[in-house]
Amino acid sequence: MKEEIKSKFEELFGSEGDIKVYFAPGRVNLIGEHTDYNGGHVFPCALTMGTYAVARKRSDNKLRFYSMNFEKIGVLESTIDELKYNQEEDWINYPKAMIWALKSEGYKIDTGFDIVYNGTIPNGAGLSSSASIEVLTGFVLKDLFGLDVDMVKIALLGQKAENQYVGVNCGIMDQFIIANGKKDCAVFLDTATLEYEYAPVKLENEKIVIMNTNKKRGLGDSKYNERRAECEKALEELQEKLDIKTLGELTEEEFEANKYLIKDENRQKRAKHAVYENQRTIKAVKALEDNKIDLLGELMIASHNSLRDDYEVTGKELDTLVEESLKQDGVVGARMTGAGFGGCAVSIVKKDKVEDFIKNVGKAYKEKIGYEADFYAVEIGDGPIVL
């Protein structure tokens, strides 16, 4: 991949000057879904699939972008002084958002640059292709312009870019794990404080398998922002009596004792998911520490059921993948991952059963849905690097 993308860069923009190749991962969240904007815990890991970039500084203020994933669009141009969101500019709004976020906080980006991207993450699959581009762009700019910015700050700026520039009210999880991933570890992150620890994922006899529904979705046009607004309203209602800043501060018992304060049944269900999912995530990390893989699987299944019934973000495609997964031999657990409404599910499968699992679930999914799902047996990788 490194030589392929470098060759494309040189074909488009020439081979002179200091050209570097970079990589940032995608991510999958093992458990802790829709908790990151509710002050709860998440438990994601970075993947060895992700986004590559080749970049070189320019002496003028011109920006030239090209993606090998969208070859028909060709080279798109802008300048470092023209960073307004433009829907017609398609995918380059994500790198532009990151330049804007850095400049808005005083980081000096005083010339343009040429950049080529190539992602191995399926677009719209829910493995964070957009956050991968944002963090990768931040990492490239840190290197090209010698910016004094750490990776936690780059994650926060990626979230700012998504919230204030792109218009998706996402939490911090995606950018954080992509910026701070570690091989063979998941990150147990408290999204309220940004305190985190690396938890080794010791799957000696199991494999993480990601299942892509191939139902395309975009966060901005999903009901993502609506769910966040419902949780914020539920929190306001609880705060009339309780001294809390986030739903993530509540135990299941505290929620049950006070849920009557939430006047709408749907908002009550949304808040219940946020509270219970946070507690499931805490229990899942402990289960992994204690090498209780079966308990981790049970918590994953309970997570999916809650996302289906209380948060209502799954849909026929994701439910079919999870239901068919749980019928297979050697499956420890399965659940949707990401924002929902399409995208991916994640399963933990015994290594010697992976081949049969993919064949059987794939066949059942096509029969029920009418088109094929894609499957990826994945490895847990590091955060951004210069290649």
What lies within 8 Å, CB to CB, of 47 at 6+ separation is: 25, 26, 27, 28, 121, 127, 378, 379, 380, 381
With the C-alpha atoms ordered 162, 168, 170, 175, is the resulting torsion angle positive or negative?
Answer: negative
* DSSP conformation letters of 278-321: HHHHHHHHHHHHTT-HHHHHHHHHHHHHHHHHTS----HHHHHH
User: What CA–CA distance (Å, rounded) separates 267 from 292?
Assistant: 33
Candidates 101, 164, 162; CA nearest to 132 is 162
Integer Cα distance of 342 and 23 in angstroms? 26
Structural Rg of the chain based on CA atoms: 21
Q: Catalytic site residue 174? A: yes
Structure-block tokens of residue 340: 């929902």
The whole-angstrom separation of Cα 138 and Cα 128 is: 15
The conformational region for residue 214 under phi > 0 = left, psi -120 to 50 = alpha, else beta, is: left
Distance CA 260, CA 320 (A): 34
**Catalytic one of 110, 114, 150, 174:** 174
Within the chain, how many helices (H) and strands (E) appear?
11, 13
Task: Report yes or no: 1 and 121 within 8 Å, Cβ to Cβ.
Answer: no
Rounded Cα–Cα distance for residues 5 and 19 (Å): 11
Tokens of 227: 């769910």
Residues known to be catalytic: 174
